[in-house]
Homo-oligomer: A and B are copies of this chain.
Amino acid sequence: MSSDDAQFAAQVSEQVSEQVSKQVAETTRRLYELGWMRGTSGNVSAVESDDPRVLSVSASGIAKHSMASQHAVRTDYRGAALAGQDLRPSAEARVHAAVIEATGARGVVHVHALSSVLAAARWPDGVLLHDAEQLKGIGREAHGDRVVVPVVPNSQDMEQLSAEILARLDPDVPGVIVAEHGLYAWGSSLEDAVHRTESLDWLFDYALGLDALSTRTPER
């Protein structure tokens, strides 16, 4: 590569990086507005480039309602921060990286959605979803398709949590609930991961709503 080519490539790379950082920030603010990132909880990631893989991950401890592009941190394929950055990535960057590695996802969302932890408390062996048009939002069938969203135990050891998620992950289900914690969901882009997060939250609320109905109308 000539020196001109290298300079050009660096410029392109920087533009992509800025674009991805901006998307990570905008997405984070939007997920906060949806009520899923209270008290600095939650984090998102997107693949910025491959070969070598670079991820853009929301920084640790940031107030999510005001996250800006400069609060996105670049990490390697294992979620470790690249050198020369002031902020640390979220501790859960390791899990994001593992999910991306295992699934080929290009974006990952982690949120503390109440619907997900209540569904996991109700159905600790996995949350069964079936017969709902919204299932198409996670790439499944609206009729006769039985989808079980895995539930894994919570852990503060990111290696262990990643291993649990990968062990239980169903390649045909783009999400896993961490019990007593929240939801991971992923997709072919960060936007796609958000859509799937929205669909899963809707489906959990629907399942819990049907469960409450069946309790108060036992004859049904």
Contacts and interface: CB of A to CB of B under 8 A. Distances in A.
Interface of A: 30, 38-41, 63, 65, 112, 114, 117-118, 121-122, 131-134, 137-138, 142-143, 154, 156, 178, 180-182, 191, 194-199, 201-202, 205-206, 209-213, 215-217
A182 B133 contact: yes
Contacts of A41: 133-134, 137, 199, 202
B180 A118 contact: no
Contacts of A138: 39
Contact of A134 (B112, B121, B131): B112
Contacts of A181: 132-133, 142
A139 to B, nearest CB: 11
A212 B205 contact: no
Contact of A196 (B39, B198, B215, B217): B39
Contacts of A215: 216-217
Chain A binding surface, main DSSP class: helix
Copies in the complex: 4
A154 B180 contact: no
Contacts of A40: 137, 195
Contact of A118 (B38, B131, B210): B210
Contact of A199 (B39, B114, B212): B39
Given A133-B182, A137-B39, A142-B181, A112 B202 contact: yes
Nearest to A201: B38
B205 A39 contact: no
Given A122-B213, A210-B118, A210-B121, A38 B198 contact: yes
